[in-house]
A and B are shown apart, each in its own frame.
Chain A
């Protein structure tokens, strides 16, 4: 089945440090890949996505490149801020047909807690 593995946290950084959160996946077919972010007390929200191999998703200074050869989608940011403190989830999306209905199924990694100190 499909699965997503993220680097274990928590990750603690000083402001302006470089961030990498590793994400690898196992999937049949050609999934789309996502990073979701969950700020304290809030629900998840989409941070960025990539729909095919070699695509780069970017948003708010974060980037991730869809690497099919290494089945990876690592999240990076050159200079983190205190406001980036959150939980980050890597996810993949596949289309499922089940029992006469179909839906896009998101499979999430376990989440990585990021804390940025001033």
Chain B
């Protein structure tokens, strides 16, 4: 049972570099989310998508971009990495957003030096 799969699990970037965090789900969920988790701060919503071709900003979108060309995939792009983007990133999905039950990937730990 794959569920939500994120890659890579770990990555170290230099300031100014770009990268894409990949997220794919096999549950045919329309709703997908990217969160970042900082120590002692809980999870903050970066971007979300309510279906293929539809994305919108969450609480902390600056420095990130997303796309949703298919139901399965929701990549997160960092264009010019900054130390403030050092964090653990989680992708999540749900078929029923009003239930509050999200299915999370295992996370991607990103360090920007």
Show the binding face of A for B, using Cβ within 8 Å.
4, 32, 34, 41-46, 49, 89, 91-93, 95, 98-99, 101-106, 108-111
Q: Bound state CA distance, A45 and B107, in angstroms?
A: 12
Q: Please determine whether A104 and B106 come into contact, CB atoms closer than 8 angstroms.
A: no
Q: How far is the CB of B60 from chain A (nearest CB, A)?
A: 13
Which residues of B are interface residues toward A (Cβ below 8 A)?
A: 4, 31, 40-43, 45, 48, 50, 54, 56, 90, 92, 94, 96-107
Give the number of residue pairs across the A-B interface with Cβ within 8 Å: 67
| B102 engages A46 (CB within 8 Å) | yes
B106 touches which one: A34, A42, A109 (CB < 8 A)? A42
Inter-chain contact B99/A104, CB cutoff 8 Å: yes
Is B90 touching A44 in the complex (CB atoms < 8 A)?
Answer: yes
In the complex, chain A residues whose CB is within 8 Å of the CB of B96: 104
Tell me whether A4 and B42 are in contact in the complex, defined as CB-CB below 8 angstroms, given that A104-B97, A106-B100 are known contacts. yes
Q: Which residues of B contact A109 (CB under 8 A)?
A: 42
The interface residues of chain A lying within 8 Å CB-to-CB of B94 are 104
> What are 12 pairs between A and B in contact, CB < 8 Å?
A43-B90, A43-B104, A44-B90, A46-B101, A89-B42, A92-B100, A103-B97, A104-B31, A104-B99, A108-B43, A109-B42, A110-B40
Contact A101 B50, beta carbon cutoff 8 Å? yes
Given A101-B54, A101-B56, A106-B102 contact (CB < 8 Å):
yes
| A16 to B5 Cα, complex, angstroms | 35
Q: How far is the CB of A93 from chain B (nearest CB, A)?
A: 3
A112 to chain B, nearest CB (A): 10
